[in-house]
Amino acid sequence: MKVEKIESTKERKLITLLIMSEEFCKRIINGVHPKHLKAPYSMHVATWVKEYFEKYGTAPMTSIQDIWESKRRILNDDSLVESIATFLGSLAEEYDPNDYRDMDYHVEDCELYLRDLELERLEEQIKVKRMSGKLDEAEALVANYKRGASVKADGVSLMDDIDIYEKAFSEGTMEPLFTFKGALGKITPPLYRGDFFAILSITKGGKSFALQHVADTALEAGNTVLMINLEMRADAFHQRLWRCIHMAPLVSGYFNVPYFTGDKEPGQVDDDTTIYRIGNKTVYREAANFQDKEAIQQIMRMRYRGGDIVQLTLPAWTTTVADIEAILDNYEYYNNKKFDVVIIDYADLMGGFEREDFRHRLNQIWLNLRRMAQERNVCVATVSQSNAEGIDGKAITLSALAEDKRKATHVTAMMALYGTEEDRNAGQVKMKCLVSRDKTAGVGEVTILQQLDLGQFHLDSKFTSQIH
């Protein structure tokens, strides 16, 4: 009786996650055989979920109610109808994504349950053969038993399916989620769904400001952005983004703003042969004023063209990739839309894999962020702290990756951010591309002009070789 209760609980969890979690479906659904499940309602609901997943490539979630309304009319068993209705009714009332944040654990737990069901079924088949004296057939069942795979391999023949080539080229020309402006956009590859983007810099090198610029650029392109803060106080975090968006200081006053001036005559187009110098101008900026909130909202909506941002401050060292994925699930469930870009400030402060030593833990975190980007079809951006290399303002290389250099193997693009203290005080930093997986990034170093008191990481950027 106790075993049955445990099994029933696990089967209920299995069906719940099949309905509500796209990640869970992708990882386990190929190992689910509805006819092997114990509860009659489980068999039917699992069948419907598998049909839905094969057609749409995702979990049904709230669509399960529509599926149920279309299926219940063909069921002739009143008790079965009642049990399915009761389960789905309780699901709507009781399901909480936070209960399933550790997806790795729940996938493993359900896989073990499915394996146990398979073995139980095999035992019954062997028993029937033995009792009827068919020992050869019983032995054959044992010899031919293979564990079911959880991951479905949807391969194609590149020789037979010619259309796959056309699809590959059309997907390769799809629009990126966003690109950076100025010379920075020439050395940084365009960022697409599934990309994992990182910036490497020293302590106090401007990493958080750089991520604010990533968020601002993504918003201007009309994306929905999740920005997770693991480092700063929530109020400081919110202040920085506001200053970035509105070029607003904490206190009203006059500020020096650097700018580039070129050697071209008025009306002539600047190009790669233009020689630039850096000038400075003084501007007066008012501190934030929130008296006319409706006007502020209107300005922001016009600037960001339908883009939106959700900011969360979460605890360092304990927040895991599974936690972030639960947030993605929760947001999609309650808002009926997905995030396009996930920004984490920053990944090295995340938790998980505590049994590993520090460098292996970091590798696992970055590996899982890459997986999340691909599986969730979002662009993930973060920063990483370099070792002592770059403290003197010299160019940072991949050897500066602190603790674990395997991070570079997980990203689609990684940029280096560096500069002397004198440079930063003058509103200048430098960037170059360290990793570009698809080779679309440019070569060379750019100088970025900024005014961090006004929240501006990137006022303009030019190739350093053109600045005199």
User: Is there a contact between 158 and 164 (Cβ–Cβ < 8 Å)?
Assistant: yes
- The mean pLDDT value for 336-356 works out to 86
Does residue 94 surpass a pLDDT of 80? no
77 with 201, same domain?
A: no
User: Is there a contact between 379 and 191 (Cβ–Cβ < 8 Å)?
Assistant: yes
Identity of residue 447: T
133 with 191, same domain?
A: no
Handedness of CA 367, 58, 163, 30 (dihedral sign): positive
117 with 213, same domain?
A: no
State the pLDDT at residue 151.
Answer: 42
Q: What is the pTM of this model?
A: 0.66
267 with 129, same domain?
A: no
For 42, other C-beta atoms within 10 Å of its C-beta total 22
Give me the number of domains the chain comprises.
2
Average pLDDT over all residues of the chain: 84
Phi and psi at 414, nearest 5°, equal -140, 130
241 with 355, same domain?
A: yes
Q: What is the CATH number of the domain that holds 447?
A: 3.40.50.300
pLDDT, tens only, 35-62: 778 888 888 899 899 888 877 888 998 8
Which has the higher per-residue pLDDT, 250 or 172? Answer: 250
pLDDT, tens only, 231-266: 888 888 888 888 888 888 889 999 999 999 987 766
State the pLDDT at residue 56.
Answer: 83
257 with 127, same domain?
A: no
Among 307, 297, 260, which Cα is nearest to 281's? Answer: 260
Q: Which of 178-192, 316-330, 439-453 has the highest mean pLDDT?
A: 178-192
Percent of the residues in the chain that have a pLDDT greater than 90, as a whole number: 30
75 with 198, same domain?
A: no
State the pLDDT at residue 7.
Answer: 47
DSSP string over 233-274: -HHHHHHHHHHHHHT--SS-EEEEEEEEEESSPTTPPP-TT-
pLDDT, tens only, 289-335: 777 778 777 777 777 778 889 988 898 988 888 888 888 887 887 78
Q: Quote the CA–CA distance of 68 and 72 in Å, as a whole number.
A: 6
pLDDT band at 150 (very low <50, low <70, confident <90, very high): very low
Which has the higher per-residue pLDDT, 136 or 131? Answer: 131
Which of 45-49, 80-84, 392-396, 464-468 is least confident?
392-396
